[in-house]
Structures are given as C-alpha cells and as structure tokens.
C-alpha cells in the first residue's frame, strides 16, 4: 500500500515538474483552468509565443492577436481576441505603434471535424509573414532568407529574394486531418501603412472569364444586378457591410474591391447570387446557405461614378480622378453578366455602404454629368493645339 502511495506521489510530482516553468516548453502552456480556453493539439512552433502569451491561454474559437513595436528592445504586447487574422491602419493609429515598426502574432485553433482541403489566402503589401499549421511552416514554403525571428532587434528585416519577396500575396491549399488544428501567424511590416489579411476557407473554384460568368449568370432567375465598388475597407478587420434597398425579390450583387474585403450584405428581400472581384486575394462574403457565389476573373474597378468634379486640364491634357461613369458601368456589367444595372454604391474607403437605386432620375443626372465632362474635355484639348500663326491675334 505504501509502495502504491509512493508511486502516485512520484507520478504527481513528475506531472507538476512537466508543467513547471523549468520544464521544456512548460512555460508557455502551464495553465488552462479557464473554461473559455483549451489546450491546443500541439505546442506552438513560433518562438514569439513565449513572449506574447504570458498566461499560456489560447481561445477555443477565433484568435488571440498580439501587437508590438519590434524596434523596442523590450516590446510591450497589446493583446485582444479577434474573429479573423487581419489588421489595417496607417502611421501610428494602432496603440501608437509606428506602422513601419509594427509586428503582430496571431494564434488560435480551427476545428475540422471532417477534415479536407482548404484554401488559405494571404494578402500583404510591403511586409513579410510566416504561417504555421500544427507546428509546420506552410507559408512561405521553406525558410525565409534574412528573416530575424528575434524580438529584440532594431534592424529592419532584409527582404528575401526569389519567390519569397516581401509583399508577395497569394493563395494555396492545405490538407487538414479531421480534428482541431493550431494556427500561428507571424507578421512584420515595412511601410507607413499596414495591411494584412489571412483567410481560411473552402477550396475556391477558378475565377470565371466574362463569357463563363455571363453563361453562369444566365441561369439565374433575376434579371437585374446591384454594383458595389470600393478600393478598401475602413475597418481594421477589413469588413464592409452593404445595405440593399427593398425590391420585392432576391438580389444579385457584384462586389468589387482592390484590397481583400470581408463583405456582409443586409438584404431585406434576400440574396440570390454574389459576384466577388478583387485585385488582392482573400475577399469573401458572409452569405446564407444556398446563395450562389461567383469569382470574376477581372475587376470593373469603378469607385467613383456620375458625380462630376475631380477633372483637371493641364496644358491640353484632360484627366478625371473618377474611374468612370454610370453609363460605362452599366455597359460593362451587361457585357460580363447579361444583367441590367438596378442600383449602385461607390466609395474609395468605407466601413459600410448603402446602395442607391439606378432609376430614371439617376440616369438623367448621369447623362448630364457625362455631357458636361465631354464639353470640358473638348475645350481642354482644343487649348493644347493652338494655331501657331495666330498665337498673338
């Protein structure tokens, strides 16, 4: 009996030692007493975890984000729980961290009960990042030359060469075995603005050409389409909410952006289909089950339409800052989808946007603006082609 008690005490002492700060890796995951946190399937691969996770807690859902100034020898970590891996700000708008010195670490778990392939989309500008899944480096593929994994460095990272150049965005697929998986992301920014986004979703079909998209859209019941065009989101998590007017029938919506955007649609009459077009990878939409989602091969890129102004004449050269007119947008949508424009909303950067109807009054205003713009263009170009013989008459 004494022998059995001694064995139990020895085993218990061993378990305590394994969880102590002196045990290898034990300092990171020493306590998971809170019901809101669970132990991951594997320990983190990133050395940043030891600094960023003081209590060793990882959310059961979503991610723990840790932001810090990498130029500091002893950086202060600002942590928060987030739903997605995304950050966007300029200058020092986030915790007074200068954007060019900004670094971040995300860690969280995703549950894949059935497993399978998923698409990971990475959107980054002048920056570099690494992604680990269950301790394995999956992005970029292989080690990054010149990447300093320490936290106490004042040196700017050296941009790697070849396929691992800073700013490289893209998509790749990864197979997940059934069960929970640990996701870690390290991010180092190199510019006065910070824009970074990682999405994990279903394997996407290849983007459709105009002819393929028109054929697919021809099978839908709706005959009209709403257009929303922006450059980027105003929100730090890159989300944008779209409010549609009531029409009495499910909507078809074209969502156009330069940066990757997490779209959500408030449609009082429901949504039949969505077309997503973006230059950067990672754009997606929150949609009810059954909504058809298409990816367009090319963007229309129209962010300002039919409002006049923004045009300049310099030495006979006429230029408008606006991307196009409503008439051109309607034509382009008809060519790509076979649908007629019923409403639109445009902005450079926004957190939410309301779609206005494209009715007879809107058409008349658009035509008036187009006529004035063309007259201004004619006068400008004429001024750039003087009659040399009559210059001083």
pLDDT for 160-201, tens place per residue?
333 334 457 888 999 999 999 999 999 999 999 999 999 999
Q: % helix / strand / coil in the chain, to the nearest 5?
A: 20, 40, 45
27 in Cβ contact with 50 (< 8 Å): yes
Q: Please tell me the predicted confidence (pLDDT) of residue 32.
A: 35
- Select the more confidently predicted residue: 11 or 172: 172
At residue 156, does pLDDT exceed 50? no
DSSP 3-state of 90: strand
Q: Please tell me the predicted confidence (pLDDT) of residue 242.
A: 98
Q: Please tell me the predicted confidence (pLDDT) of residue 37.
A: 60
The mean pLDDT value for 269-292 works out to 93
At residue 76, does pLDDT exceed 90? yes
The mean pLDDT value for 203-223 works out to 92
Separation CA 119–CA 85 (nearest Å) = 14
Nearest to 229 by CA among 242, 248, 216: 242
The mean pLDDT value for 32-56 works out to 76
At residue 154, does pLDDT exceed 70? no
pLDDT in tens, 308-344: 446 778 878 887 755 456 777 888 899 999 999 999 9
Read off the pLDDT band of 10 (50, 70, 90): very low
The mean pLDDT value for 109-117 works out to 94
41 in Cβ contact with 181 (< 8 Å): yes
The mean pLDDT value for 117-125 works out to 93
Q: Is 184 left (phi over 0), alpha (psi -120 to 50) or beta?
A: beta
The mean pLDDT value for 282-310 works out to 80
Read off the pLDDT band of 157 (50, 70, 90): very low
Q: Please tell me the predicted confidence (pLDDT) of residue 142.
A: 42
* Strand ranges for 260-326 from DSSP E: 262-266, 271-278, 284-286, 292-295, 311-314, 317-320
Q: Please tell me the predicted confidence (pLDDT) of residue 207.
A: 92
At residue 220, does pLDDT exceed 60? yes
Domain boundaries along the sequence of the chain: 28-202, 210-383
Read off the pLDDT band of 62 (50, 70, 90): very high
Q: What percent of the chain has pLDDT over 90?
A: 56
Weakest mean pLDDT among 10-14, 129-133, 177-181: 10-14
124 in Cβ contact with 164 (< 8 Å): no
Q: Please tell me the predicted confidence (pLDDT) of residue 381.
A: 84
Read off the pLDDT band of 269 (50, 70, 90): very high
Q: What is the CATH architecture of 28-202?
A: Sandwich (2.60)
Q: CB burial class (10 A; 0-12, 13-18, 19+) of residue 248?
A: exposed
243 in Cβ contact with 352 (< 8 Å): yes
At residue 27, does pLDDT exceed 70? no
Separation CA 301–CA 365 (nearest Å) = 21
How far from the centroid of its chain's Cα atoms is residue 379's Cα?
Answer: 43
- Select the more confidently predicted residue: 53 or 264: 264
Nearest to 32 by CA among 64, 50, 59: 59
Read off the pLDDT band of 22 (50, 70, 90): very low
At residue 392, does pLDDT exceed 80? no
Q: What percent of the chain has pLDDT over 70?
A: 79
Most confident of the ranges 3-7, 234-238, 326-330: 234-238
Nearest to 126 by CA among 162, 150, 100: 100
Mean pLDDT for the chain overall: 81
- Select the more confidently predicted residue: 279 or 382: 279
228 in Cβ contact with 300 (< 8 Å): no
Q: Give the chain's end-to-end CA distance (angstroms, integer).
A: 120
At residue 364, does pLDDT exceed 80? no
At residue 208, does pLDDT exceed 80? yes
240 in Cβ contact with 233 (< 8 Å): yes
Q: Please tell me the predicted confidence (pLDDT) of residue 25.
A: 35
């Amino acid at each position: 009996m004494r022998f059995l008690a001694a064995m139990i005490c020895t085993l218990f002492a061993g378990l305590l030692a394994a969880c102590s700060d002196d045990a290898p890796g034990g300092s990171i995951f020493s306590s998971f007493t809170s019901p809101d946190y669970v132990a991951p399937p594997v320990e983190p691969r990133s050395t940043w975890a030891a600094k960023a996770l003081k209590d060793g807690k990882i959310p059961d859902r979503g991610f723990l984000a840790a932001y810090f100034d990498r130029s500091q020898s002893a950086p202060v970590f600002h942590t928060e729980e987030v739903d997605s891996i995304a950050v966007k700000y300029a200058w020092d708008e986030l915790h007074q961290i200068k954007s060019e010195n900004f670094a971040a670490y995300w860690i969280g778990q995703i549950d894949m009960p059935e497993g399978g392939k998923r698409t990971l989309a990475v959107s980054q500008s002048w920056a570099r990042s690494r992604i680990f899944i269950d301790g394995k480096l999956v992005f970029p593929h292989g080690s990054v030359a010149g990447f300093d994994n320490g936290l106490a460095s004042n040196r700017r990272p050296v941009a790697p060469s070849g396929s691992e150049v800073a700013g490289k965005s893209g998509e790749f697929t990864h197979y997940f075995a059934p069960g929970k998986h640990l996701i870690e992301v390290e991010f180092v920014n190199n510019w006065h603005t910070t824009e970074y986004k990682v999405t994990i979703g279903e394997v996407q079909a290849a983007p459709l050409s105009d002819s393929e998209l028109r054929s697919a859209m021809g099978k839908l019941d709706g005959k009209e389409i709403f257009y929303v065009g922006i450059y980027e989101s105003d929100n730090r998590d890159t989300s944008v909410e779209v409010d549609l007017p009531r029409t009495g029938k499910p909507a078809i919506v074209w969502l156009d952006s330069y940066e990757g955007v997490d779209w959500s649609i408030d449609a009082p009459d429901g949504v039949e289909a969505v077309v997503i077009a973006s230059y950067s990878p990672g754009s997606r939409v929150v949609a009810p089950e059954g909504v058809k989602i298409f990816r367009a091969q090319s963007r229309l890129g129209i962010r300002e339409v039919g409002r006049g102004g923004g045009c300049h004449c310099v030495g006979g050269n006429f230029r408008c800052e606006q991307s196009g007119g409503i008439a051109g947008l309607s034509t382009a949508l008809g060519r790509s989808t076979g649908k007629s424009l019923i409403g639109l909303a445009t902005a450079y950067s926004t957190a939410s946007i309301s779609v206005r109807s494209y009715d007879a009054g809107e058409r008349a205003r658009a035509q008036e603006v187009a006529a004035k713009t063309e007259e201004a263009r004619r006068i400008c170009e004429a001024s750039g082609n003087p009659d040399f013989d009559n210059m001083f008459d």
